[in-house]
Amino acid sequence: MATRGFDSYRLYFAGSAILVLIALVAQFELRGPSRPVAGPEALAELATRNRQQRDLNLVFLLVDTLRADRLGVYGYERPTSPHIDALARQGVLFEDVVSQSTWTKTSMASLWTATHPANHGVLRFDHVLPDAATLPAEILSEAGYRTVGVWRNGWVEPKFGFAQGFDTYVRPAAGAERMRVHRESGNPNALTGSDEDLTLAALDFLEHSGDRRFFLYLHYMDVHQYAYSESSPSFGTAYPDLYDRAIHWTDSLVGALLGALRKHDLMDRTLIVLAADHGEAFREHGVEGHGRDLYRETTHVPLILSPPFRLEPGLRIAQTVSNVDIWPTLLDLLGLPGLPGSDGRSLLPLVLAEAGGATAQPAERPVFAQLMLGWGNVRRESVPLFSVTEGSRRLIASQEDPPRFELYDRARDPQEQNDLYPEAAEEAAELQRLLEAYQRDANPPWGQAPLVVEIEELRLNQLRALGYSIER
Ligand SMILES: [Zn+2]
C-alpha cells in the first residue's frame, strides 16, 4: 500500500471546533445551488463526459450500521437526516436495498467486489479478501484517479484485504474527545475519537486535492457506536433514541462535507453516493445489534446516488436491488471498466426506465444475503444462514441440523413478524431452489478461496470492543 501525498501527519487534528464547522455549512448553503439542473437523461451522458473530459470525482459515503427506515427521506417521522434527505431529493433514491450480510467484513467484501458472500467466501472473523480479487479502487487508480480511504472500523483494515487500489488508506488519529459514546463507556479497548476526525481529514484532503480526479471513501462509525455530539438534538434515552441522535450527528458531518465540496466548487463535477453495510436491530426479533440474523431491520439499507447536477424532481426506484449492484452502477456511470465476475448489475437501465415512465423495466432479480452464525467463534464451526428475496416473498434458511426455514410476505408483513413457512412449505420450494443454485454455483471469480489471517489478542480485543462477541 503506497501512502504518497495526503500524508498521514495531516490527520492529526486537535481541537478544531465542530460547532464552528457546522455553522460554516449553513453559510455555504446560503451561496445557493452550485449544481445545474438536468434531466435524468444526463445520467446516461456522464460516462461519455468522463471519458472525454476526465473530470468526475467520486465521493463514497459508507455509514456503518445505518438502517434505511431511520432516515427522513425513507419515511421516518423524526428529523434525523436533513442533509442526506436534501441530497436524496435531488438525486436518485433506491427504496428497497438489501445488504449482502449483517456484519461489516462480509458485507463490505460483497459491496466492493460486487459478488455474493458464497462467492467471495469472506465469512469469518479471520478471513481475508485475497490480492487476486479486483476492487473498485484498483480500477479507479488504473484510470488515473487519486484514491483515498478514511475509515474507523477495524473490520476494513488493510490486513483484511480492503486497502487494494488505495493510494492512501488511513484510520484518522483521534482528536480531542467531545463525544458522548453510549455503549462503549468504561471499556478500555473502546474505539477512540469520532467521525469528526474522519470529517476533518476529508476536509483537509479537499483543501489540498488539486486538479486531479479523486475517489474519496469515507467509512463513518459513530452510528455503529451510538456516538454523538451535544450539538445534536436528543430524542430520548432508550437505545433507539440514542441511535437516532447518532444519525443526526452523522448527518451534520455529511452536511459539513457537502459544504466543503461547495466551497471548493466541486459539486458540479462530483458524484456522491451514500450507502450502508447493514442495519441494526432493536428487539424486533428478540435481539439487539447486528451480525446475528438476517431479518429486515439488519438488511434494509439506504442507497442514494447524487449526480453532479440536480434532478428536479429526484427519482425514487421501487424495485428491490442489492449492495452488489452499487459498484457496477458507479463504474457504468463513470465510463470505467466493470468488476470481473460480478454478481451485480448496473442499475442505470432501471433508473432510466423509471425516469422515462417505461412500462418495461429490467426484470427484477432474486436478491441474496448470507451470514455465518458463529462467525466470531474461534474454535467452533460456523453454521450458514441465508436469505433469498424475490418479489414480495422472502425465505430465510439456516443449515442447522435439522435445517430451519422461515417464509415472509413482505407486501403484507414488511416487518417479517408472521412466518408463513409452516403452512406454505410448497410455496417456498421455488425460493429453496434459488438458494440451492446460489450455493451450488459458489466460486470466487478470482479463483482463490479467502485467506485466513492470524489476529493477535490485542486486535481481537479491539474488535470485541466494537460490540461483537468474538469468543475465546
Ligand atoms: Zn458494519
Q: Could you state, in order of their start, the residue ranges of all structural domains in the chain?
A: 8-355, 367-464
Taking the centre of ligand 1 as the mean of its atom positions, its distance from the CA of residue 427, in whole angstroms, is 33
- pLDDT at residue 446 greater than cutoff 50: yes
Please report, rounded to a whole number, the percentage of residues in the chain having pLDDT higher than 70: 87
Q: Band the pLDDT of 1: cuts 50, 70, 90.
A: very low
Average pLDDT over residues 85-97: 97
Q: Band the pLDDT of 471: cuts 50, 70, 90.
A: low
The yes or no reply on domain 367-464 and CATH 1.10.260 is no
* CA distance linking residue 278 with residue 290, whole number of Å: 8
Average pLDDT over residues 105-122: 97
What was the pLDDT predicted at 314? 95
- pLDDT at residue 467 greater than cutoff 80: no
Which of 27-41, 265-279, 401-415 has the lowest average pLDDT? 27-41
Taking the centre of ligand 1 as the mean of its atom positions, its distance from the CA of residue 294, in whole angstroms, is 14
Taking the centre of ligand 1 as the mean of its atom positions, its distance from the CA of residue 37, in whole angstroms, is 35
Taking the centre of ligand 1 as the mean of its atom positions, its distance from the CA of residue 276, in whole angstroms, is 8
**pTM, full prediction:** 0.92
* CA distance linking residue 54 with residue 212, whole number of Å: 9
- pLDDT at residue 11 greater than cutoff 50: no
Taking the centre of ligand 1 as the mean of its atom positions, its distance from the CA of residue 65, in whole angstroms, is 5
- pLDDT at residue 149 greater than cutoff 50: yes
Average pLDDT over residues 111-137: 96
What was the pLDDT predicted at 438? 95
What was the pLDDT predicted at 388? 98
Q: Band the pLDDT of 13: cuts 50, 70, 90.
A: very low
- pLDDT at residue 181 greater than cutoff 70: no
What was the pLDDT predicted at 12? 36
Which of 54-63, 124-133, 217-226, 349-358 has the lowest average pLDDT? 349-358
What is the chain's mean pLDDT, rounded?
89
Quote the distance between the C-alpha of residue 31 and its chain's center: 30
Q: Band the pLDDT of 464: cuts 50, 70, 90.
A: confident
Average pLDDT over residues 48-62: 97
Taking the centre of ligand 1 as the mean of its atom positions, its distance from the CA of residue 366, in whole angstroms, is 23
Taking the centre of ligand 1 as the mean of its atom positions, its distance from the CA of residue 367, in whole angstroms, is 20
Structure confidence by residue, pLDDT tens digits, 276-328: 999 999 999 999 999 999 999 999 999 999 999 999 999 999 999 999 999 99
Taking the centre of ligand 1 as the mean of its atom positions, its distance from the CA of residue 104, in whole angstroms, is 4
The yes or no reply on domain 8-355 and CATH 3.40.720.10 is yes
Taking the centre of ligand 1 as the mean of its atom positions, its distance from the CA of residue 88, in whole angstroms, is 22
Q: Band the pLDDT of 4: cuts 50, 70, 90.
A: very low
Residue whose entry in the numeric block shows the C-alpha cell 425514487: 316
Structure confidence by residue, pLDDT tens digits, 368-391: 999 998 888 776 778 899 999 999
- pLDDT at residue 417 greater than cutoff 70: yes
Taking the centre of ligand 1 as the mean of its atom positions, its distance from the CA of residue 254, in whole angstroms, is 18
Taking the centre of ligand 1 as the mean of its atom positions, its distance from the CA of residue 466, in whole angstroms, is 10
What was the pLDDT predicted at 175? 80
> Higher confidence at residue 139 or residue 25?
139
* CA distance linking residue 442 with residue 396, whole number of Å: 18
8-355 and 367-464 in the same fold: no
